[in-house]
Structure 1
Amino acid sequence: MKDNELITLIKGELSTGLERQGHSGIKVWQSYQPTLQGMTTDPVIYLHKMADVRHGSPGLREEYDDDAQVMRRITTEVLISTYQVSGVLVYEFTDPEAVTPGDMVKAAARAMQSPEFQQALAAKGANVMRVGSITTVDVTGENPGYEQRPLFEIDISHTDTFITEIPTFKSIVFRAGRV
């Protein structure tokens, strides 16, 4: 599964899972891209790809295409992709009922551990390996001081398949002669 295909699947299923929990106004975006306008005021869950780890040796299969006169090597790799999931939200801290970034991130973790999320990924050939613990990191904010950003990591296993074309020879003729 290619990166865009996997991230699109995760974003769509995470949005659906958040809506099931009653969080319909939360946007799911890939990575945090700062702008000159500053931080968005909308509630946003960010997905940031951390790593792709290959497991085992790639599977190799070769097929000959008679029409094109090429050998095609089909390589399949098992990958575990790690994503960091974080939340950003400007909220009224004096309102005890206000949704916080921590609440959004906990809802995202619950959605990603739900059977519906896992079944949707499995139907497309991916699998949730691990949803990590929610931690909070300090980041510099737009104002003096620090903001706290809650986050967790999720590992998703999937396969990536690619094709390499190898030119072939139609025939080889050996000639032996006296020198």
Structure 2
Amino acid sequence: MRENELNTLLRSVLLDGLVSHQLPGVAVKRSNQPTDQGVDSGPCLYFFVVNHHRYGSPRRSDEWDDANASMVHTETQWIETTYQITGSVLQDPANLESPTANDLVFHASAILQSDAAIARLQSAGVGVYRITEGRNIFFKNDRDQYEASPSFDITLTHRDITVTTTPVVSSVEIKITRV
């Protein structure tokens, strides 16, 4: 599975889960995109890939394809992809009913551990390996106010499959020559 496919799957699982958690107005976006300028004005979850880790060694198999008269070589490698998911909400101290950035991150973590999300990910060939503890870092925003930037990491397991074909050798010529 390629990174963009994994990104699309993760985003759709989070969006559907947010609706079921009564948080339908929360945007889910990839972080650090070249076209983004500033933070969203509404509540938002951001995600980005921290790293890809190859697990074990590739499984290799060869099968003969009668129809195309070629050898099909398949290499399957397990990959652990770690994402960081961060929440962002412009907080209004007067409105105590609106969700905080911590609330968004807490719900995102719960969504990704739910039976529905795990079943949906597994049906696409993706497993949830680990979800880490949440972090809550504070920083000064562009309005010189302290703002929370809570986050957690999730490691997903999936396979990277590479298939190549080798045509059959049509003739062999044996020559004995002097060296």
Fold conserved between structures, TM > 0.5: yes
Q: Which moved more, 1:131-140 or 1:97-106?
A: 131-140
Cα pair distance change 1:112/1:165, threshold 3 Å: same
Structure 1 residues 65 and 39 mapped into 2: Cα distance closer, same or farther (>3 Å)? same
Name the amino acid aligned to 1:20. Answer: S
Match of 1:39 in 2: 39
Instruction: State the alpha-carbon separation in 2 of the partners of residues 129 and 36 from structure 1.
Output: 30
CA-based RMSD of the aligned residues comes to 2.4
1:142 Cα shift? 1.8
Query: What corresponds to 1:51 in structure 2?
Result: 51
The gaps in structure 1 that reach 5 residues or longer are none
- 1:114 corresponds in structure 2 to 114
| Preserved contact between residue 29 and residue 45 of structure 1 (Cα < 8 Å) | yes
TM-score by length of 2: 0.88
Partner of 2:143: 143
- 1:36 Cα deviation after fit: 7.3
The aligned runs of 1:1-179 (5 Å cut-off) are 1-33=1-33, 37-65=37-65, 70-144=70-144, 146-166=146-166, 168-176=168-176
Counterpart secondary structure, 1:11:
helix
Amino acid paired to 2:71? M
Q: Residues 36, 58 of structure 1: CA spacing in aligned structure 2 closer, same or farther, 3 A cutoff?
A: closer
CA distance in 2, matches of 1:118, 1:126: 8
CA contact (8 A) 1:69 1:170 kept: no
Compare 60-69 and 103-112 and name the one that shifted more.
Answer: 60-69
Unaligned 5+ residue runs, structure 2? none
Listed one character per residue, the Cα deviations across residues 112-136 of structure 1 (whole Å, up to 9, x for unaligned) are 1100000100111111111111101
Q: Is the 8 A contact 1:127 1:156 kept in 2?
A: yes
Aligned to 2:18, the other structure's residue is in SS state helix
Percent sequence identity over aligned pairs: 30
In the TM superposition, residue 23 of structure 1 has moved relative to its aligned partner by 0.4
In 2, Cα distance between equivalents of 1:141 and 1:167: 60
Deviates more, 1:150-159 or 1:132-141: 132-141
- The Cα of 1:39 is off from its aligned counterpart by 1.7
Q: 1:174 to 1:24 in 2, by over 3 A?
A: same
Cα deviation code 1:100-152 (max 9, x no counterpart): 11111111011111000001001111111111111012345223365320000
Report the Cα distance in structure 2 between the residues aligned to 1:25 and 1:7, rounded to whole angstroms: 20
Identify if the C-alpha distance between structure 1 residues 124 and 138 changes in structure 2 by more than 3 Å, giving closer, same or farther. Answer: same
- 2-structure distance, mates of 1:53, 1:18: 29
Residue 4 of structure 1 aligns with an amino acid whose one-letter code is N
